[in-house]
Structure formats: C-alpha cells, structure tokens
Amino acid sequence: MAAETKPAMNKNRLLFLAAVAAICLFILLSIVVMRFVGVHSPESLPGGVGPSAPPPATRRAPVSLNVAPGDPSGATDDPSNKNNYLLVKPQYVLSYNNEKGEPNWVSWHLEAADIGDVERQNNFHPEQSLPAGFKRVTPDDYTGSGFDRGHVCNSKDRTRTAADNSETFSMANMLPQTPDLNRQVWESLESYCRTLARQGNQLFIVAGGYGSAGTIGRANKVNVPTNCWKIVLVLPAGRDISQADRNARVIAVDMPNASGIAQDPWQKYTTTVRDIEQKTGYNFFTDLPADVADALKSKKDAGR
C-alpha cells in the first residue's frame, strides 16, 4: 500500500505546481494587457475624447515672427474675450477691442524684403474675420470726424505684394488719429524704421493707443485715443529673437493724439517701455529672458 501511495502523492504535487504556475501566468498576462490598454486608451491619445481628455486649451498668440517678443496683453481667440481678442494674419498680429472698435495693439516684423514697389491699395474695409456679433467698423465711421484712418501696421511696411498691402487697410488695424499726428510726426518714425530695415536690420514693432478723448462713428462707435505709442526692437537681420540681449536697441515713443504737433520731430516723444507699460497695463517682451527684458524696458533711445 505504501508503494502505491507515493506515486499518487507525487502526481498531486505536480498538479498543484502546474495550477500555481498557470495562475501566476494569468496574473502576469492580465497586468500586461491592462497596461497596454491604458497607454492606448482614447483618454491618453492626442485629441482623445474619453472622460479624462482635457478640454482644448484656448490658443494664445502663436509662434509667429510678427509677435516674437511676446503677446503683451495675453490675448486669446476665444470669442467671449471680446475686448482682448487675438486676430492673427500673415502680415501682423493684433488684439482687438470690440467695445472700443479698434486694436489694443498691433505687432509686426519688418525687414527689407517686406518693402517693395506695390502701389497703395487704399481699400479700407471692415474686418470680416471677426467672430459673429463683433463690431465691424466701416470706413464711413471715420467720415467727417476730423480724424484720419490711422494705420497701426502702416501701409508702406507691407508693399511686397498687393495682398500684403491690402490687409493693412483693414479697419481693425486703424486708430482715429489727428492729421498732424498721422501724416507728420507718426509718419516720420515709420519712415525712419524702414530706413533701419534697408540698412540691414530687422525690426520687431508693436504699437497702439491709450486713453479716451471721446468717440467717433456713425453705425459704430470708435474710441479716440488721447495718445499713440510704439515700441521698436532693432536686431541685425537674420538674428533669432532668442539672441536679443540687453545691448539691443529699443525705440519707444508716446505721442499725443493732438493738433499742433506737425513740426515736432519724433525724437521729442521718446520714452521707455516701462513707462508705456505703466500707462497701458501691458507687459512687453514676455518671450525674452527676464533679465534681458528688464534691461531693455529701462532704456531710453537717443533718437539717432
């Protein structure tokens, strides 16, 4: 009897070990499958639609040469952000203020290649790409007001193609400016910037207005700013914005939107970026290293 019991016990032991091995293998395979499914689930894939997929982020100013130094107001393309709405074009980037019917700021890049011989298109037009429900200022809203339709990104900076020049005549790129400002002292700085570009420089420009001297407009009310400002960061052509350092030239001006200034040189109105920040509430050069931005904001240009 004892001889017959021993083989039976060995057989049972083998069956037990086989069962344990099968269970371990099953657990191991289960872990592998769960990890595989988790990595490839809809929630974890780009654009996933599962319950844990994060909502799409509101887009801020994109990586664009026209706004390379940074978005000064944190504009977004969320249509509910009506007074700081991000509008991106190949020719410029701007923040639109629906309540004021004008841009908060317009930012663009200028180099010699942007300056061509295309004739002025002169086709002032409402900005059709604004979301539904936004104020679309028309050229007639300026008619008879005594104020010019003052380009922010100016026409002559975009004369490489007719399409480029045409986009500067969008009413979203206009501020009501006095003739003395628009045609004289403001224009003289615009011309100087093109001279710098032709001399082998690239310019990162942002400009806008602040304050209120009332409104104009027929169908749409448009704010008349008390002042118009401009900031110009000058770098050698071909140099990446990341190579800007504290020695870079910065031109900042704050000009009154007034009559009687036609004979003033633009240099009369030079100031610092820091001063413009205090008057507008914006934060410039946000995409530059903090120490470089701080140094540039405190510089006042000599005007030559």
Identify the CA nearest to 213 among candidates 183, 184, 178.
178
Q: Domain spans of the chain?
A: 1-56, 65-297
Q: What is the pLDDT of residue 85?
A: 98
Q: How confident is the model at residue 60 (pLDDT cuts 50, 70, 90)?
A: very low
Q: What is the pLDDT of residue 33?
A: 44
Per-residue pLDDT at 41 exceeds 90: no
Q: How many CB atoms lie within 10 A of CB 221?
A: 15
Round to whole Å and give the CA distance between 105 and 95. Answer: 6
| Residue with the two structure tokens 């679309």 | 136
Round to whole Å and give the CA distance between 269 and 266. Answer: 6
Q: What is the pLDDT of residue 222?
A: 98
Q: What is the pLDDT of residue 82?
A: 98
Architecture of the domain whose range is 65-297: 3-Layer(aba) Sandwich (3.40)
- Poorest-pLDDT segment among 42-46, 109-113, 125-129: 42-46
Question: Which residues are CB-neighbours of 44 under 8 A, at least 6 positions away?
Answer: 38
Taking the CA atoms of 167, 170, 175 and 178 in sequence, report the sign of the dihedral they define.
positive
pTM over 0.85: no
Q: How many CB atoms lie within 10 A of CB 275?
A: 15
Per-residue pLDDT at 180 exceeds 70: yes
* Residue of 40, 109, 125, 151 with catalytic role: 151
Q: Is 151 a catalytic residue?
A: yes
Half-sphere CA count of 282, side-chain side, radius 13 A: 28
DSSP three-state, residue 252:
strand
Q: What is the pLDDT of residue 304?
A: 80
Instruction: Give the mean pLDDT of 194-198.
Output: 98
**pLDDT digit string (tens) for 226-283?**
999 999 999 999 999 999 999 999 999 999 999 999 999 999 999 999 999 999 999 9
Q: Which residue has the higher pLDDT, 19 or 204?
A: 204
Burial degree of 11 (CB within 10 A; 0-12, 13-18, 19+):
exposed
Find how far residue 192's CA is from the centre of its chain. Answer: 24
